[in-house]
Amino acid sequence: MNKLIIITGQTATGKTSLAFKLAQENNGVLINCDSRQIYKYLDIITGKDYNLISKNKIGLYDVIKPDEYFSSFDYVKLALPLIKKIIKKGKTPIIVGGTYLYIKHLLYGVETENIPPDWKLRKELGNKTVKELQKILTGVSTQLINQLNQSEKNNPQRLIRKIEILKSRAKGSHIQPRGLNMTLQSSKTNMAITLENKLSVKNLKIEFYGLKFKDKNLLRKTIKKRVEKRLKNGAVDEVKKLLEMGYTKKDPGLKTTGYQQLIGHLEGVLDIDTTIQQWINKEVQYAKRQYTFMKKDKNITWREI
RNA sequence: GCCGGGAUGGCAGAGGUGGUCAACGCACCCGUCUGAAAAACGGGCUAUGUCGGUUCGAUUCCGACUCCCGGCA
């Protein structure tokens, strides 16, 4: 019997502590699944737990630089072999992090798996207005744009992705998607089977936990404390250092809560109180969105804190 | 005390108006999202300081009061 443990959930719920505990009980090895901790040099503000886990005991920390793009596909590509290696050693991989999108793609696959992001195209289309993007899409496929809901129709990133998919298919390079889709989320066995195939591992047992706050007051209080702690630990200096290294607020790594606000402060746009308040608000809002997204996954066993 | 200016949602703030007034932003609530996810988006909520008058009808006109800001004393 092979075991895989996944711990996700809202930010600031203590996922890493739980992962550490489960690692001791299960002969486990941690694999990060936080889209921010993937980045080098983003340490204090993304809350890398160096005290709890020494750097070499957790996988997928610090794999790219702040100006590099990363996607759920890249994550899966890196995570799968790592998981496999750990299982082969007879240990338990423990995936821990709040980026549910990455977990979702790892567990359930993506229909358009063979159509990679075209960052050049994205950059090009990035200058266009939503109206222009809609027009491009309408020109290619009226059917497709009619299927989009209001939210997606106005979301430039989503529209660009759709265009990307259509362009790729127009080139004829695509293969018919495999039957991996959302319906698998309702079935625990299928989830394991999918991964067993991808890993070529037999008898995989998956434990899938989600951590969430009991109520919003506690969430806000905890986040506020955490922000204050990070400031005390040198968050401002971390940002200064990154700016000195030549990174800017437009770099994908720095498009992160905390960095955006502190850069605003260093630029003199925000006073410190506003900076802190905004930082806290953004994290609270993020935690809310996380749960909205994750709660649709029926495989998650929830634990309230 | 006198003179002037002001009072619009939880906050900030615009403009119009005797006829269901009421923008934008923030916050808050709910949601969307199959290769950017700590991202990007959609929807929703709440208002004319108090009291009285004129009027069929007042947020708008009139009066008083309260509070705030500026100037004079």
In A89-155, which residue ranges form alpha helices assigned H by DSSP?
100-108, 119-125, 130-140, 142-147, 150-153
Q: Which two tokens stand for residue A215?
A: 């109520």
- Please indicate if the annotation marks A97 as binding a ligand: no
Query: What whole-number distance in Å separates Cα of residue A272 and Cα of residue A264?
Result: 10
Does pLDDT of A46 surpass 70?
yes
Asked if residue A105 and residue A11 are part of one domain, the reply reads yes
- CA quadruple A259, A237, A235, A43: dihedral positive or negative? positive
Q: Which of A149, A140, A136 is nearest to A169 (CA)?
A: A140
Does pLDDT of A175 surpass 60?
no
- Report the run of H or E that residue A217 belongs to, with start and end: helix A216-232
Q: What percent of chain A has pLDDT over 90?
A: 59
- Please indicate if the annotation marks A257 as binding a ligand: no
Is beta strand A28-32 parallel, antiparallel or unpaired with respect to A301-304? unpaired
Q: List A39's β-bridge partners, or say none.
A: A64
Asked if residue A63 and residue A201 are part of one domain, the reply reads yes
The confidence score (pLDDT) of residue A53 equals 65
- What is the CATH number for A28? 3.40.50.300
pTM for the structure as a whole: 0.89
Asked if residue A183 and residue A54 are part of one domain, the reply reads yes
Please tell me whether any atom of strand B lies within 7 Å of the Cβ of A257. yes
Domain containing A221 equals 216-289
Q: Looking at this predicted complex, what is its ipTM?
A: 0.85
User: Residues A235-254: pLDDT tens digits?
Assistant: 999 999 999 999 999 999 99
User: Residues A89-103: pLDDT tens digits?
Assistant: 999 999 999 999 999
Nucleotide nearest to A283 (CA to C1'): B38
User: Residues A267-290: pLDDT tens digits?
Assistant: 988 889 899 999 999 999 999 999
User: Residues A3-41: pLDDT tens digits?
Assistant: 899 999 999 999 999 998 999 899 999 999 999 999 999
Does pLDDT of A166 surpass 90?
no
Across A12-41, b (16+ Cβ under 10 Å) vs e yields bbebbebbbebbeeeebbbbbbbbbbbbee
The confidence score (pLDDT) of residue A191 equals 73
Confirm if A166 and A142 have CB atoms less than 8 A apart: no
Asked if residue A241 and residue A159 are part of one domain, the reply reads no
- Of A60 and A189, the structure prediction assigns the larger pLDDT to A60
- Residue numbers in A 222-251, CB below 7 Å of strand B: none
Q: Which nucleotides of B are covered by protein (CB under 7 A)?
A: 26-43
User: Could you give the number of structural domains in chain A?
Assistant: 3
